[in-house]
A = this chain, B = another copy of it.
Amino acid sequence: MKALVYHGPGVKAWEDVPAPKILSDTDAIVRVDAVTICGSDLHILKGDVPAVTDGRILGHEAVGTVENVGAGVKTVKIGDRVLVSCITSCGTCRFCRERRYGQCLGGGGWILGHKIDGTQAEYVRVPFADTSTYPVPAGVADEQILMLADILPTGYEVGVLNGTVQPGDVVVVVGAGPVGLAAIMGARLFSPSHIVAIDLADSRLEAAKQFGADVVVNNSREDAEAVVAGLTGGLGADVTIEAVGLPATFEQAVRLARPGGHIANIGVHGQPVTLHLEELWIRDVTITTGLVDTYTTPTLLRLVMSHQLDAARFVTHHFALDEFEKAYDVFARAGDTGALKVVLTRT
């Protein structure tokens, strides 16, 4: 079969590789019908993720059709249309039983396209299939469901739920890239009074408005603290969500939260940040971090089915499966292309 293979920093190829086989009796082999590219795939390609080695097939998001299952697979059947989630769950370890699948101690967590071959291929082997795939309801488009593989649960769980967004809140989202937009869309489900999006790019701020922000601040020329103070009687935001992954944006997110406020970090950070405990010790703040667990996938499916979430809004570009080179290029140059999520479909 064909797959998108990583060959060290900066090098990838859509090339022939052996088709995956069942290695454990809880595996399923899934034919990939639709797949997307994640910001973390770009990180991997830069060489920032040492666990990914030469020869690895990338990708951790797919919608597909079950081609084969191991003898121990109980609920997933050949022919089922399934969502392949970015997080694999053994289903039996301590953390899986606490719904903290991202921290799975039994061989799961984020492994697809990372520690084992991933979804950017014609077929993918999915371990622990019963607890790591989700049935796709009839009548929903693949590309809507595909957004539930990573970006929507990440924004919703790590941003909105960890941040405990409530009706009437003033919510600030620092960073209006795809994950920040997912946080905005997820926050809107709780009817905050205001969602303030902060970014450096006007085009992203324009997108933020489409996704539900009612106030936007360009960090390069506007004063976010003054804007938030104006909305909150000078107190600060109820919830701030960091969706960039840099010290400056994290520190801004902390600064913009009110006494008693929540700061939810989604950003993938590569270096330490300074926490001003000399000011914060007395301010009653709560700071959370987290890898997505995808425990809300069934909820998000219901929200898509009932038109509470317009998941397809993320999809800006469509490609055929064998156009991975072009798709990566468009996605990597998002500033120019306006790409949020690109979808590659089996034709």
Contact = CB atoms under 8 A, between A and B. Distances in A.
Given A100-B284, A259-B103, A284-B102, A130 B92 contact: yes
Contact of A286 (B99, B100, B188, B287): B287
Nearest to A260: B100
Q: How many copies of this chain does the complex contain? A: 4
A271 interface: yes
Given A72-B71, A95-B260, A193-B306, A289 B278 contact: no
A167 B304 CA distance: 11
A75 B97 contact: no
B91 A91 contact: yes
A281 B308 contact: no
Contacts of A265: 277, 281
A92 B94 contact: no
Contacts of A193: 302-303, 305-306, 308
A250 B275 CA distance: 11
Given A92-B75, A98-B260, A100-B259, A168 B278 contact: no
A21 to B, nearest CB: 18
Q: Which of A167, A270, A285, A295 has the most CB of B within 10 A?
A: A167
A341 interface: no
A14 to B, nearest CB: 29
Interface string A274-301: 1111101111111111110001001110
A169 to B, nearest CB: 8
A78 interface: no
Interface in A74-123: 74-75, 90-92, 94-95, 97-100, 102-103, 106
A269 interface: yes
A61 B25 CA distance: 30
A264 B17 CA distance: 50
Interface in A186-231: 188-194, 214
A91 B89 CA distance: 11
A268 interface: yes
A131 interface: yes
A47 interface: no
A272 B277 contact: yes
Given A26-B74, A272-B274, 17 more contacts: A71-B71, A74-B92, A75-B106, A95-B259, A97-B99, A97-B295, A98-B99, A102-B282, A103-B260, A167-B299, A168-B298, A189-B191, A191-B191, A214-B306, A268-B281, A268-B282, A273-B277
Interface of A: 25-26, 71-72, 74-75, 90-92, 94-95, 97-100, 102-103, 106, 130-131, 166-168, 188-194, 214, 245, 250, 259-260, 265, 267-278, 280-291, 295, 298-300, 302-303, 305-306, 308
18 contacts: A25-B71, A74-B92, A95-B260, A100-B260, A168-B299, A168-B306, A193-B302, A193-B306, A214-B306, A245-B281, A268-B282, A272-B275, A272-B278, A281-B290, A283-B289, A286-B286, A286-B287, A287-B288
